[in-house]
Chains A and B, each alone.
Chain A
Amino acid sequence: MIEVKDLHKAFGEVKAVDGVTFTARDGEITGLLGPNGAGKTTTLRMLYTLMKPDSGHVLVDGIDAATDPVAVRRVLGVLPDARGLYKRLTARENIDYFARLHGIETPRMHSRREALADALEMRDILDRRTEGFSQGQRVKTAIARALVHDPRNIILDEPTNGLDVMSTRSMRAFLKSIKSEGRCVLLSSHIMQEVAALCDRIVVIAHGRVVAEGSAEELRQRTGKASLEDAFVDIIGSNEGLAA
Chain B
Amino acid sequence: MKAAFTVFLKEVRENLRDRRTVFNTFVTGPLMAPLIFVLMLHTVINQQLEKAEKPLPVPVVGAQYAPNLIEALKQEGMDAKPAIANPEAAVRNQDANVVLRIPPDFAKSWNKGEPAQVELIYDQSQRDSSSDEERLEGMLKTYSQRGAALRLVARGLSPAISQPIVVAQRDQSTPQSRAGILFAILPYFFILGAFIGGMALAIDTTAGERERQSLEPLFANPAPRWQILAGKLGATCLFSLATVFLSILAFSQVGHFLPSDKIGMVLELGVRFTLTVLVAMLPLVVLLAGLQTLVAAFAKSYREAQTYLSLLMFVPAIPTLLLSVLPFKAKLWMYAIPVVGQQTTILRMMRGESVPMMALGVCVASTAVAALIVCAITARIYRSEKLAISA
Contact = CB atoms under 8 A, between A and B. Distances in A.
Contacts of A115: none
Given A51-B385, A88-B14, A101-B6, A82 B220 contact: no
Given A50-B385, A50-B388, A88-B14, A103 B2 contact: yes
B212 A84 contact: yes
Contacts of A89: 10, 13-14
A102 interface: yes
B10 to A, nearest CB: 5
B204 to A, nearest CB: 10
Interface stretch (A69-77, A171-179, A216-224, A226-234): A69-77
Interface in A153-199: none
Contacts of A207: none
A7 interface: no
A98 to B, nearest CB: 6
Contacts of B327: none
Contact of A80 (B18, B216, B223): B216
SS of B interface (majority): helix
A52 interface: yes
B4 to A, nearest CB: 10
A82 B388 CA distance: 10
B239 to A, nearest CB: 15
B200 to A, nearest CB: 13
Contact of B217 (A74, A100, A145): A145
A101 B9 CA distance: 12
B217 A142 contact: yes
Contacts of B138: none
B220 A76 contact: yes
Contacts of B390: 82
Contacts of A146: 217, 220
B385 A82 contact: no
A84 to B, nearest CB: 3
A84 B217 contact: yes
Interface string A18-57: 0000000000000000000000000000001011100000
B217 A88 contact: no
A71 B221 CA distance: 10
Interface in A77-98: 78-89, 93, 97-98
A146 B224 CA distance: 17
Contacts of A71: 222
B215 interface: yes
Contacts of B209: 84
Contacts of B3: 101, 103
B387 to A, nearest CB: 10
Contacts, number: 71
Given A50-B385, A70-B224, A103-B2, A83 B17 contact: no
Interface in B180-232: 209, 212-224
B213 A84 contact: yes
Contact of B220 (A50, A86, A93): A50
Contacts of B217: 78-80, 82-84, 98, 142, 145-146
A81 B14 CA distance: 23
B220 A80 contact: yes
B223 A101 contact: yes
A56 to B, nearest CB: 16
A6 B209 CA distance: 33
Contacts of B223: 101
Contacts of A100: 6
B219 A88 contact: no
Nearest to A82: B213
A141 B216 CA distance: 15
Nearest to A142: B217
A145 B217 CA distance: 9
A35 B218 CA distance: 27
A218 B168 CA distance: 109
A143 to B, nearest CB: 11
A97 B7 CA distance: 8
Q: Which of A50, A70, A74 has the most CB of B within 10 A?
A: A50
A12 to B, nearest CB: 12
A74 B385 contact: no
B221 A88 contact: no
Nearest to B228: A101
Contacts of B218: 84, 101
A81 to B, nearest CB: 8
Nearest to B223: A101
A79 B216 CA distance: 9
Contacts of A84: 209, 212-218
B216 A98 contact: no
Nearest to B221: A101
4 closest residue pairs by CB, A with B = A84-B214, A82-B213, A78-B220, A73-B222
28 contacts: A48-B220, A52-B385, A71-B222, A73-B220, A73-B221, A74-B222, A78-B217, A78-B220, A80-B217, A82-B213, A82-B214, A82-B216, A84-B209, A84-B213, A84-B214, A84-B218, A85-B214, A86-B14, A88-B14, A88-B18, A93-B10, A97-B6, A97-B10, A98-B217, A101-B222, A101-B223, A145-B217, A146-B220
Given A73-B222, A84-B213, A93-B10, 6 more contacts: A50-B385, A82-B213, A82-B217, A84-B217, A85-B214, A88-B18
